């Protein structure tokens, strides 16, 4: 189903051949000894952007994705390798929005969050998405309170294994160093090491009134406290770094 790959000796070789035909400076980052059939993956990157290209097993289709600043903003599907390369080259060598990419190449579909990231609204989008996500019901009480706090709502929020985390950057890998995280007490044994779970169980907590109980840790290993949503917010704010700033574009590595 992929005669061009067989002729070139692999996906990476075939992609590089198409880049050469286009007089593009781009090349794949797969090592030569990795580029053997039936290799089904390759990667092309430039600056703060990259694309991964996969191939389908049961029919001829190339599946590219389009990343910027550590965030996947669009996916595509095409059976034409030349068309694929035109889109990847356009994305990686031009300063274009995800919308402009999809408008130029109709086989590209932006993700739901693409516009927010294009327009520098990603932190606001992330908080609103968490508030509306039915899978975050157990965290809902705390999220509803946290989003109103002017210190905390500057950070980029995300969930990981039942836990609400905060990042100093908006792309993956996230920068969570020195930041607290919040886990509903009933899920804490799934999210933390055994010794941290035992410590959390043994600690008293101040939880006036009704409401869900949350446990606050740092890196899911250092126990910081527990309580209802209001008390949890107090513990989180107490353990934020003094020099906290709005989450920046990019990744922890950047």
Question: Looking at residue 31, what is its pLDDT?
Answer: 58
Question: Looking at residue 220, what is its pLDDT?
Answer: 78
Question: Looking at residue 36, what is its pLDDT?
Answer: 54
Residue written as token pair 């286009």: 22
| Rg from Cα positions in the chain | 22
In a domain, 150, yes or no: yes
How many structural domains is the chain composed of?
Answer: 2
User: Within this chain, do residues 183 and 231 fall inside the same structural domain, yes or no?
Assistant: yes
- 199, 184 contact by CB (below 8 A): no
In a domain, 147, yes or no: yes
User: Within this chain, do residues 112 and 126 fall inside the same structural domain, yes or no?
Assistant: no
In a domain, 26, yes or no: yes
**Number of other residues whose CB lies within 10 A of the CB of residue 89:** 20
State which of 61, 85, 118 marks the end of a domain: 118
State which of 74, 95, 118 marks the end of a domain: 118
User: Within this chain, do residues 104 and 131 fall inside the same structural domain, yes or no?
Assistant: no
State which of 90, 118, 146 marks the end of a domain: 118
In a domain, 46, yes or no: yes
In a domain, 65, yes or no: yes
Question: What are the tokens at 61?
Answer: 């289709």
User: Within this chain, do residues 80 and 147 fall inside the same structural domain, yes or no?
Assistant: no
User: Within this chain, do residues 42 and 110 fall inside the same structural domain, yes or no?
Assistant: yes
In a domain, 248, yes or no: no
Question: What are the tokens at 215?
Answer: 């446990």
Which residue in 155, 162, 177, 157 sits closest to 222, CA to CA?
177
- 210, 240 contact by CB (below 8 A): no
User: Within this chain, do residues 165 and 232 fall inside the same structural domain, yes or no?
Assistant: yes
**Number of other residues whose CB lies within 10 A of the CB of residue 119:** 12
Containing domain of residue 133, as a range?
A: 122-238
User: Within this chain, do residues 182 and 214 fall inside the same structural domain, yes or no?
Assistant: yes
The span from the CA of 43 to the CA of 11, in Å, is: 10
User: Within this chain, do residues 202 and 130 fall inside the same structural domain, yes or no?
Assistant: yes
The span from the CA of 199 to the CA of 183, in Å, is: 14
Residue written as token pair 């599907």: 77
Per-residue pLDDT tens digits of the chain, which is 254 residues long: 889 998 998 899 999 999 999 999 999 986 555 555 555 789 999 999 999 999 988 889 999 999 999 999 999 999 999 999 999 999 999 999 999 999 999 999 999 999 999 999 999 999 999 999 877 889 999 999 999 999 999 999 999 988 999 999 999 999 999 999 999 998 888 777 767 777 777 777 665 556 899 999 998 789 999 999 999 999 999 999 998 999 999 999 87
Which residue in 205, 196, 203 sits closest to 230, CA to CA?
205
The span from the CA of 3 to the CA of 216, in Å, is: 55
Give φ, ψ of 177 to 5 degrees.
-55, 130
Question: Looking at residue 76, what is its pLDDT?
Answer: 98
User: Within this chain, do residues 99 and 152 fall inside the same structural domain, yes or no?
Assistant: no
Give φ, ψ of 85 to 5 degrees.
-65, -35
In a domain, 252, yes or no: no
Q: How far is CA 186 from the centre of its chain?
A: 26
User: Within this chain, do residues 169 and 66 fall inside the same structural domain, yes or no?
Assistant: no
User: Within this chain, do residues 147 and 214 fall inside the same structural domain, yes or no?
Assistant: yes
User: Within this chain, do residues 110 and 126 fall inside the same structural domain, yes or no?
Assistant: no
In a domain, 249, yes or no: no
């Amino acid at each position: 189903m992929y005669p061009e790959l067989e002729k070139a000796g692999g996906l990476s070789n075939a992609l590089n051949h198409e880049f050469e035909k286009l007089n593009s400076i781009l090349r794949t980052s797969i090592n030569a000894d990795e580029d053997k059939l039936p290799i089904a993956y390759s990667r092309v990157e430039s600056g703060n952007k990259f694309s991964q290209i996969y191939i389908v097993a049961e029919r001829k289709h190339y599946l590219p994705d389009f990343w910027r600043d550590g965030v996947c903003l669009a996916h595509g599907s095409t059976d034409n390798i030349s068309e694929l390369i035109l889109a990847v080259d356009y994305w990686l060598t031009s300063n274009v929005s995800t919308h402009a990419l999809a408008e130029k190449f109709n086989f590209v579909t932006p993700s739901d969050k693409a516009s927010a990231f294009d327009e520098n609204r990603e932190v606001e989008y992330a908080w609103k998405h968490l508030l509306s996500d039915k899978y975050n019901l157990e965290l809902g009480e705390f999220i509803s309170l946290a989003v109103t706090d002017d210190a905390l709502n500057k950070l980029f929020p995300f969930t990981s294994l039942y836990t609400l985390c905060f990042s100093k950057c908006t792309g993956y890998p996230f920068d969570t160093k020195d930041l607290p995280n919040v886990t509903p007490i009933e899920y804490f044994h799934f999210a933390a090491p055994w010794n941290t779970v035992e410590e959390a169980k043994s600690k008293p907590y101040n939880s006036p009134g009704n409401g869900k109980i949350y446990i606050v840790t740092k890196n899911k290993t250092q126990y910081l406290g527990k309580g209802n949503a209001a008390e949890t917010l107090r513990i989180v704010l107490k353990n934020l770094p003094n020099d906290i700033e709005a989450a920046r574009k990019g990744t922890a590595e950047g």
